[in-house]
Amino acid sequence: MRRLEGKYALVTGGSTGIGRAIAIRFAEEGANVAINYHSSREEAEITEDEVNKACRVIREHGCREMVVKANVADETAVARIFGEVIDAWGRLDILVNNAGIQKTSPTEEVTAADYDKVLGVNLRGAFLCAREAIRHFLSRDGGGIIINNSSVHQIIPKPGYTPYAVSKAGVGNLTRTLALEYAARGIRVNAVGPGAIETPINRAWLDDPEKKALVKSHIPIGRAGTPEEIAAVFAFLASDDSAYITGQTIYACGGLTLYPDFRTAWSSQG
Ligand code: NAD
């Protein structure tokens, strides 16, 4: 299926995990893709390698690719990458706000700097990129599409991850507010709320069979999701198959948002 034939997309945090899967799925659907990412010096070499592989796959699908490195929390850097993409391609049709980080710590120990860092990437970054995309979409006919990568923690509390949970709740209302503000001007804004997905952000349990079994035991469908399963939802929301959907978050979480503790009627047992 090539539902995105000839479209131009920018995926933030597209070097690994879900972002990379989105970039590749979009190319499979015919879209040209600009990959943004930001890595520490220690990760730089591995990340570049991963990005190069993704670019090769995009080209194999007959699509154009470009790489725009930047920290999405940095207003000047965000303006620069949108400038680079629009200068090179003359247009952008789809923005995917995927870049995200998390840090764990009991809330009483969270530093203001760490709080700002997580909110900076996950929420300020999504806002800054959305604002640039909207400015471009309004400057031309045809509108555009924004899809935010949120989380089940948009609605489920996450003790020990307060900045992350706060940022994703914010992404939820960023999605709804932008959707309402721009619906009449041809801009659709939606979000995807993944559950536990097998990506580098989950290193802590992915390589530990015991912890992985514990994660699985909490998921009604009985397993973690793959980046490709999440990318499929992004492709749907980027395509005309979702032309009448705006302001929604689709939870792709194996049933995690269904209050799994209520699988049995423990609360009504005599
Ligand atoms: P990941 O760690 O594999 O990927 C994160 C990406 O974000 C990388 O490409 C990294 O370069 C980029 N990034 C980090 N800081 C950045 C910055 N300042 N500027 C630009 N890019 C930056 O993680 P992932 O699991 O693929 O996560 C992607 C998104 O999915 C995140 O928003 C995350 O919150 C969300 N999510 C993931 C899961 C999961 O279980 N994996 C669940 C729910 C939501």
Angle at 82 between CA 81 and CA 86, to 5 degrees: 120
Q: Quick: pLDDT tens for 60-82.
A: 999 999 999 999 999 999 999 99
pLDDT exceeds 70 at position 23 = yes
Question: From the alpha carbon of 21, which atom of ligand 1 is closest?
Answer: 26
Task: Tell me the domains of the chain and their CATH numbers.
Answer: 8-253 (3.40.50.720)
Tell me the pairing of strands 65-69 and 32-37.
Answer: parallel
> And the tokens for 24?
């590749």
Q: What are phi and psi of 195, to 5 degrees?
A: -95, -130
In percent, how much of the chain has pLDDT > 70? 100
Element (H, E) at 145: strand 144-149
- Ligand 1 centre and the CA of 93: distance in Å? 22
Q: Which residues line ligand 1 (CB under 6 A)?
A: 12-19, 36-39, 71-73, 98-101, 121, 149, 151, 194, 196-197, 199-202
Q: Quick: pLDDT tens for 162-215.
A: 999 999 999 999 999 999 999 999 999 999 999 999 998 898 899 999 999 999
Q: What are phi and psi of 167, to 5 degrees?
A: -65, -40
**270 burial type by CB count under 10 A (0-12 exposed, 13-18 middle, 19+ buried):** exposed
State the average pLDDT for the chain: 96
Q: Note the pTM of the prediction, 2 decimals.
A: 0.98
- Ligand 1 centre and the CA of 270: distance in Å? 45
Residue where the block lists tokens 């690994």: 16
- Ligand 1 centre and the CA of 100: distance in Å? 4
Question: From the alpha carbon of 39, which atom of ligand 1 is closest?
Answer: 11
Q: What is the mean pLDDT of residues 24-34?
A: 98
pLDDT exceeds 80 at position 265 = yes
Q: Quick: pLDDT tens for 214-247.
A: 999 999 999 999 999 999 999 999 999 999 999 9
pLDDT exceeds 90 at position 147 = yes
- Ligand 1 centre and the CA of 174: distance in Å? 18
> Which distant-in-sequence residues (6+ apart) come within 8 Å of 46 by Cβ?
none
pLDDT exceeds 80 at position 41 = no
Residues tagged active-site = 164
pLDDT exceeds 90 at position 43 = no
> Which distant-in-sequence residues (6+ apart) come within 8 Å of 126 by Cβ?
72, 97, 148, 171, 174
Pocket test for ligand 1, best of 37, 119, 192 (most atoms within 8 A of CB): 37
pLDDT band at 57 (very low <50, low <70, confident <90, very high): very high
Task: Please tell me the predicted confidence (pLDDT) of residue 270.
Answer: 62
Alpha-carbon gap, residue 248 to 262, rounded angstroms: 25
Angle at 96 between CA 59 and CA 231, to 5 degrees: 65
Greater confidence (46 vs 166) lies with 166
